[in-house]
Amino acid sequence: MTTAFTFPGQGSQTVGMGRTLADAYPEARAVFDEVDEALGERLSTVIWEGPAETLTLTQNAQPALMAVSLAAIRVLAAQGVTVAGTASFVAGHSLGEYSALAAAGSLTVADAARLLRTRGQAMQEAVPVGAGAMAALIGLELGAVEEIAAEAAEGAVCAAANDNGGGQVVVSGDKAAVERAVAIAKDRGAKRAVLLPVSAPFHCPLMAPAAKVMEEALAKVDIAAPVVPVVANVTAQPTTDPDAIRRNLVDQVTGMVRWRESVAWMADAGVDLFVEIGSGRVLSGLARRIASGAETMTVGTDEDIKAAVERLAVSEVNSV
């Protein structure tokens, strides 16, 4: 069994996530304490008590999701299931790439939390509220969506932002252009084409001001070589080089999340078990559609931990 650990992105957050881990395991509680201290506020209270509107704010959701993922990683490690001993690769969807890097020892939890708070604020401030939009086009492959986005742009910005796999591609850009893309996609046979309830047009050229902010922030942070390769969003290729990781994180702000290609690359490299670490099950569903025959597991609750330790500890022994 060859395993990859994957880490979810924005949209997977729910009020109360990670609470059972923090209540059951001191290692998990310590992660939330580290994040609170790094940010100088009790983000853990927002994570566990809400309100949902506050948790959903980009600058809160991003470090919050990372905290839940790393809490699960710490608990697994305390039970003998380490990233280095279990996973052949790690990857994360958008902000989840920071979680993947922290899990693999490339970033500290505190630095990841501060970077994600900066990232969330910068992405929110890059475009005036209401000026941008994102839409999910379901039932069309990437090439068709790129043609639709180019046609819809009409001199404005409209670009493929997430190639999630399974015929799910998200476009991002100026609101009017994205709305045109939705209309064109429906005419071109999309099963669904809907605007998404997001606060900014992520992963498109409109995010250039945020990319500049992140370039400056990342230049001040130590990035170590991860203990296993990280498959980057913008390249869909593995790397352990700190300089490449830094560049990828900057490029990721404006670049497309190549999730379909990332999962397909890992499957071609022999991965047959994708373990989603953190809140939700979105990536597990995508993995099953992209990598036919692959198994998936989710690790986000106390019950999940017990099942994962039983399964992954056996896999680790068998792989030796």
Q: Is the pLDDT of residue 134 over 80?
A: yes
Residue 17 sits in the same domain as residue 108: yes
Instruction: Please tell me the distance from the alpha carbon of residue 262 to that of residue 9, in angstroms, as a whole number.
Output: 15
Asked about 203 being catalytic, the answer comes back as yes
Judgement on whether residues 120 and 136 belong to the same structural domain of the protein:
no
pTM of the complete model: 0.96
Q: Are residues 177 and 80 in the same domain?
A: no
**Which of 138-142, 223-227, 245-249, 313-317 comes out lowest in average pLDDT?**
313-317
In this prediction, residues 49-76 reach a mean pLDDT of 97
Rounded Cα distance, 87 and 271, in Å: 9
The CATH number of the domain holding residue 150 is 3.30.70.250
Catalytic choice (203, 262, 279, 284): 203
Choosing from 150, 168, 198, the residue where a domain stops is 198
Q: Are residues 98 and 19 in the same domain?
A: yes
What is the band of 263 on the pLDDT scale with cuts at 50, 70, 90?
Answer: very high
Complete edge-to-edge strand list for the sheet that includes strand 230-231: 238-239, 230-231, 87-92, 3-7, 273-277, 295-299
Written as one string, the DSSP assignment of the chain is --EEEEE--TT---TTTTHHHHHH-HHHHHHHHHHHHHHTS-HHHHHHH--HHHHHSHHHHHHHHHHHHHHHHHHHHHTT--HHHHEEEEEESTTHHHHHHHHTTSS-HHHHHHHHHHHHHHHHHSS-TTTEEEEEEES--HHHHHHHHHHHHTTS-EEEEEEEETTEEEEEEEHHHHHHHHHHHHHTT-SEEEE---SS--SSGGGHHHHHHHHHHHHTS--PPPSS-EE-TTT-SEE--HHHHHHHHHHHHHS-B-HHHHHHHHHHTT--EEEEESS-SHHHHHHHHHSTT-EEEEE-SHHHHHHHHHHHHHHHHHH-
Q: Which of 175, 198, 221 is the last residue of a domain?
A: 198
Q: Is 159 left (phi over 0), alpha (psi -120 to 50) or beta?
A: beta
Query: What is the model's pLDDT at position 314?
Result: 59
| β-sheet bridge partners, residue 132 | 174
Of the residues 179, 198, 217, the one at which a domain ends: 198
pLDDT band at 100 (very low <50, low <70, confident <90, very high): very high
Whether the per-residue pLDDT at 44 is higher than 50: the answer is: yes
Question: Are 51 and 153 members of one domain?
Answer: no
Per the residue annotation, which of 44, 69, 94, 106 is the catalytic one? 94
215 and 313 co-located in one domain: yes
What domain range is 218 assigned to? Answer: 3-125+207-319
At residue 315, does pLDDT exceed 80?
A: no
Instruction: Report pLDDT for 64.
Output: 98
End-to-end CA distance of the chain: 11
69 touches 94 (CB < 8 A): no
The residue whose two tokens read 């990280």 is 230
Higher pLDDT, 315 or 20: 20
How many domains are contained in the chain?
2
Q: Which residue has the tokens 């693999």?
A: 104
pLDDT, position 298: 97
Looking at the fold, whether 120 and 28 belong to one and the same domain comes out as yes
pLDDT tens column, 220-254: 999 999 999 999 999 999 999 999 999 999 999 99
- 71 and 213 co-located in one domain: yes
Tokens 């404006």 sit on residue? 254
What would the pLDDT profile of 161-186 be if each residue is shown by its tens digit?
999 998 999 999 999 999 999 999 99
Please give the mean pLDDT across all residues of the chain: 96
Q: Model confidence at 199, in pLDDT bands (50, 70, 90)?
A: confident
Residues linked to residue 230 through DSSP beta bridges, in sequence order: 90, 239
Question: Where do we find the tokens 């305390």?
Answer: 78
Buried b (16+ CB within 10 A) or exposed e, 197-217: ebbbbbbbebbeebbebbeeb
For residue 317, pLDDT over 50 is answered with no
The pLDDT assigned to 313 comes to: 82
CATH of the domain at 257: 3.40.366.10
* Residue 34: pLDDT over 60: yes
In the prediction, which pLDDT does 316 show? 46
Does residue 208 register a pLDDT over 90?
yes
Over residues 187-201, mean pLDDT: 94
Q: Is 94 a catalytic residue?
A: yes
